Chain A
Amino acid sequence: MITRTFRHLVLDNPMTLEGARFWRRFLRTGGDTGRAVNATIFVLLGVFYLWLMYAIVHFHEDLNAAILGLELMLLTLLVPASLYASVSGEREKLTWDALILTRLTPAQIVVGKLLSRLALIVGLQLLIAPLLLLSHMCAKFNSEYSGAALVLSQVALFTWSLLLAGFSLWVSTKTKRSVTTLALITSALLAFLVLLPALILLFASGSGNSNPEVLTWDGTPLQQLSACLLHLHPVGVLYGDLMRTSNHQAGDLWYAERLFTTTPWVYGMGALLCLFGSWRTLRGMEIARRSRG
């Protein structure tokens, strides 16, 4: 049963061709000029990568905080950018009818589109892992992050990326135009990453007090909710929880436990919910076509 499902969704799923298309588009845009631009960008990125390694080794700098920030930023930008047009784009480019007339199931479409982008997430994390390791080993002073915290950071970032991918796919199935999808995803991200924390820090922590430390589980219900939301914020996870865990401050065990048991799980469950939502929407569209036209 499991093997059959795996074959159906992964091995025999033609939608995984999306992956090849995605990478080709990434590497091959615009003929000779595009190739030259791509080559230049890759050379510059390669030089920057090597320079980072050199800086870490030579100056014994602990750049983990910066590297994690860069990784978070890249994943937050690239994952939605690679998925926002996955379904709405098919409708715009008039390829959707052809797809729906085949024997592909909605689950194959969802999984195929997701799998092709997983390579992007994993690839980026694998690329950044040596930098984190090097920075951790070569730091002159004690690293702000323990080894376990670094591993945790990667788990948190992976599940955060999955959440973004699932959410982008879900919004894409709900909208007819890619530009609408992009606008909705961008708005949701800005609201969650910028607006919500700003409002919490302004209002929930009490009048005139913008110190997030007062947002504890012992506060008012609003403060508890705010604390919960802030700790689900990826920046909060990378620069708050993990650092505190690493520096063995008070509540060390509690933080680590919460991080292990909540944040990546919440991200992961959110991703699963979004994927389920995408599947339901695609299935609903098939039924709607049949019942409503």
Chain B
Amino acid sequence: MIFSVIVRAAPDNVGHLLALNTCEELIRQGHQLEQIFFYESAVVAASALLLPEQDELSVTRRWQALFTASEVPLFVCVAAALKRGVVNEQEATSHALPAHNLADGFEIAGLGEWIGTLQPTIKQVTFA
């Protein structure tokens, strides 16, 4: 089965962890994961500056590990990201921002990437 996942829960929300565990499991079971789309506060997971407390897991690193192992695109909604301070180099330049912080493996994208997966053959799963 082909899946597409939308993550809307913030990294410190248990829904975000559930999304991460589910995506890892889907890949482990051999399902096709079309993409993972980060929206709302979930985009904060794409910040390279996110520093969890000691003994807590780094969701950013786990998403990056998932990307490295599977090459499933990690799309981060540009509008949601910009208003939460998650910026890639290109956006930093075009908005004259002093720095950029998008973690490796994540990709800034528009909502069109999510809409492209709204097809009868693709199962959408949302974690909010």
Whether chains A and B associate is no
